[in-house]
Chains A and B, each alone.
Chain A
Amino acid sequence: MRRWPNVVRYVLLFLGALIFLFPFYYMLVGSLQSAPDTSVGGAFPTSGLTLDNYRDINSRVDLLGSLVNSGIFTGGVLLGTVVFGTLAGYALARLQFRGRGVLFALVLLVQVIPFQLLLIPLYVLIVRGYGLADNYLGMILPFAINTAAVFVFRQFFLQLPDDLFAAARLDGAGELRILWSVALPLVRPALLTAVLLTFIGPWNEFLWPFLVTKDADMQPLAVSLANYISNVSSRAANPFGAILAGACVLAAPAVALFIAFQRQFTSSDLGSGVKG
């Protein structure tokens, strides 16, 4: 009786996983082909695999330098979001203070505004108002505190039982302490989700860092690869393969990061925490 649904679950999950993995697989295969084959058979090649597309990227893009820039850009955003985002999320969820409603409305509003609307005024502000062209700070600023992450933090702090906080406050713990040693450990999976969410934005973002930095030595990987893609797209031996290889290079660190982090994704065992 219990065995059966379990088997079904695994079969379905693996089937789903294959559907989700297929494009990645296709990307990988495409990036290894010397000539593009867009037919159905092309997805399952038996020969003609080569690393040329990667070699070509390596010869045209300073991978290490771009990776360092990506690291600085993404790292800055992560730092800002994790530190100030959790503080704001906690305050919004758990503390009654004047202006909370306004702030929360702003959180919603900022999330809702399409970036394309702000693009040029934002650029003028950062470059002309703050003088941050060709500067890492200028690259980081529009993303520095990810509003969606603030929203996620708030929602998860909100989900924790009230008694927990009341008890801690009765013990005389300060809010920072409550946040650090009571709330954060309990929402660790949410924290990781928000980190991964925050990571992807700047990691894959290309237009903004490109606008802000014209100096090729400062450009993150997504920009270098997009530049590479835009100018090889009609010229490489296998343009489509070159694009896919670029995408693989960009995706690899993100996937690696996820694999490293997903171990942490275990239950925080709230039940006992409440009771204890």
Chain B
Amino acid sequence: MKRALPAALLTLSLALAAGCDGSGGGDAGQANAATGPITIWLSNNQEELAWGKAMVESWNGRHADQKITAQEIPAGKSSEEVIGAAITAGNAPCLIWNTAPAAIPQFQKQGGLVALDSFEGGDQYITDRTGDTAEQYKSPDGKFYQLPWKSNPVMIFYNKDIFAKAGLDPEKPALSTYDEFLTAARKIKSSKAAQAAIYPAPSSEFFQSWFDFYPLFAAETDGTQLVKDNKAQFNTPQGQAVAGFWKTLYDEGLAPKEMYNGDSFADKKAAMAIVGPWAIKVYGDKVKWGAVPVPTSTGKPAEQIRTFSDAKNVAMYSACQNRATAWEVMKFATSQEQDGKLLDATGQMPLRKDLQTAYPDYFAGNAAYKQFADQAARTVEVPNVPNSVAVWQTFRDAYSQSVIFGKQPVADAFSGAATKVDQLASGS
């Protein structure tokens, strides 16, 4: 009886598997011209949701025959699994308003995305709106599978009270070179003004490097992505300089190796944090903060510093039937007017080339955001390469091993990771 089991199981499941395959996805050309009601997914964070609902309402008011239905998906870790599953099952919505650039290569490989170039003037619309930065969002086949929507360029936030307590200048702290940064960090620690100088998450999730290594790497290399021309770029003198800087912070206990449950900056456990403009609203009244660009080894002037963009984009999914409507909605929701409303509601930076001149009133009234808007002009995205997530996980593991926990020399860990990343990024 036991021998019969595997055979029976296999036959049954293969029969079912065969029965469930197939079912085509409709003609693309036809779908591109079709109009009608569509479904979109919005990120469920409060401010974005408010903007999204208002946008949908204003669209629906004008297009009775092409109504949008909006649903929420979580902004956090699980959003990519949800989208991946929906692509596979063929019930993804038309548009998702928080598609992570790092997930694009995989969704594209799954056949889940619609190239926006297939719409008339699609390519033009994106480059006109975003400018040169748009280039980073092109896929290896030269097409746009995402519309660059908004960025959260990251900077160093510091707590003025803690800095004053540590005897550092709270108004114009010297943090532009690695040496200056380390000196400040040591002072914070030795004066016991705060438990940690800076507290990036030391955990192993693939995306954590976006908020420690990558912004500094972008600044140090004047905007090189982690992978360029299918070659890893981090195993270089610059990459190692950045790693060395973080390693010093970890070795000297200036940055803790343990996870913190909560927000170390808000809880005043850390004197500094690497954050995007969303932080202004979050920390607004709780912490007296200042913001400076991320440091570089030589202390480049602020107007040269590049940083990680932490962008979220809009993508159109291939399950969409009424793609003409979806494309119009995409343009409608990224118009100057809607972008202005988004900026107003969330403080996140629309990926437009003329950001500061487009919304002079906003930046006049919200000086705090001006710094980030300025930084938004010089951002670096995650590389749009095959196996993007695997590339980042490989890098994170090597970084964790060598920089955070010091189990292996940085040079060895990075060169090993670089070999693997080269393979992954070339699509094997």
In the complex, the answer to whether B76 meets A105 with C-beta atoms within 8 Å is: no
In the complex, the answer to whether A105 meets B84 with C-beta atoms within 8 Å is: no
Segment with Cβ contacts to B, from A86-94, A124-132, A180-188, A252-260: A124-132
- Determine if A275 is an interface residue (Cβ-Cβ < 8 Å): no
Q: In the complex where A105-B5, A128-B90 touch, is A120 in contact with B78 (Cβ < 8 A)?
A: no
User: Which partner residue on chain B sits nearest A228 by CB separation?
Assistant: B44
From 133 to 156 in chain A, residues with beta carbon under 8 angstroms from any chain B beta carbon are: 133
Q: B91: shortest Cβ distance to chain A, in Å?
A: 6
From 195 to 222 in chain A, residues with beta carbon under 8 angstroms from any chain B beta carbon are: 207, 210-211, 214-216
Q: In the complex where A102-B5, A231-B45, A231-B46 touch, is A239 in contact with B263 (Cβ < 8 A)?
A: yes
- Chain B residues with CB under 8 A of A240: 261-262
- Determine if B23 is an interface residue (Cβ-Cβ < 8 Å): yes
In the complex, the answer to whether A227 meets B72 with C-beta atoms within 8 Å is: yes
Interface string of B270-289 (1 = CB under 8 A from A): 00000000100110000000
Question: A-side interface residues toward B, CB under 8 Å?
Answer: 35-36, 38, 99, 101-102, 105-106, 119-120, 123-125, 127-129, 133, 207, 210-211, 214-216, 226-227, 230-235, 239-240
Q: B247: shortest Cβ distance to chain A, in Å?
A: 26
In the complex, the answer to whether A214 meets B5 with C-beta atoms within 8 Å is: no
In the complex, the answer to whether A124 meets B78 with C-beta atoms within 8 Å is: no
Task: Known pairs A35-B267, A231-B44; list 11 more (Cβ under 8 Å).
Answer: A38-B261, A119-B81, A123-B88, A133-B89, A210-B82, A226-B74, A230-B76, A230-B78, A233-B76, A234-B282, A239-B263
Binding site secondary structure of chain B = mixed
Q: In the complex where A101-B1, A128-B20, A211-B82 touch, is A231 in contact with B262 (Cβ < 8 A)?
A: no
Closest 9 CB pairs of A and B: A230-B76, A101-B1, A230-B74, A127-B89, A214-B71, A240-B262, A231-B45, A124-B89, A123-B85
CA distance A38 to B258 in the complex (A): 14
- Determine if B8 is an interface residue (Cβ-Cβ < 8 Å): yes
Interface string of B90-120 (1 = CB under 8 A from A): 1100000000000000000000000000000
In the complex, the answer to whether A106 meets B72 with C-beta atoms within 8 Å is: no
- Interface residues of B, count at CB 8 A: 37
In the complex, the answer to whether B85 meets A211 with C-beta atoms within 8 Å is: yes
- Determine if B41 is an interface residue (Cβ-Cβ < 8 Å): yes
In the complex, the answer to whether A106 meets B5 with C-beta atoms within 8 Å is: yes
- Determine if B75 is an interface residue (Cβ-Cβ < 8 Å): yes
In the complex, the answer to whether A227 meets B261 with C-beta atoms within 8 Å is: no
- Determine if B172 is an interface residue (Cβ-Cβ < 8 Å): no
- Chain A residues with CB under 8 A of B267: 35-36, 38
In the complex, the answer to whether A207 meets B78 with C-beta atoms within 8 Å is: yes
CA distance A210 to B77 in the complex (A): 13
- Determine if B4 is an interface residue (Cβ-Cβ < 8 Å): yes
Could you show 29 A-B contacts with beta carbons less than 8 Å apart?
Answer: A36-B267, A38-B261, A101-B5, A102-B8, A105-B2, A106-B9, A119-B85, A120-B88, A123-B88, A124-B89, A127-B91, A129-B20, A133-B91, A210-B82, A211-B81, A211-B85, A214-B71, A226-B74, A227-B44, A230-B76, A230-B78, A231-B43, A231-B44, A231-B75, A233-B76, A234-B263, A234-B278, A235-B45, A240-B262
Of A120, A123, A127, A216, which one neighbours B72 at CB under 8 angstroms?
A: A216
In the complex, the answer to whether A231 meets B76 with C-beta atoms within 8 Å is: yes
From 9 to 38 in chain B, residues with beta carbon under 8 angstroms from any chain A beta carbon are: 9, 20, 23
- Chain A residues with CB under 8 A of B4: 102
User: Which partner residue on chain A sits nearest B71 by CB separation?
Assistant: A214
CA distance A92 to B282 in the complex (A): 58
CA distance A211 to B86 in the complex (A): 8
- Chain B residues with CB under 8 A of A216: 71-72
Q: B363: shortest Cβ distance to chain A, in Å?
A: 23
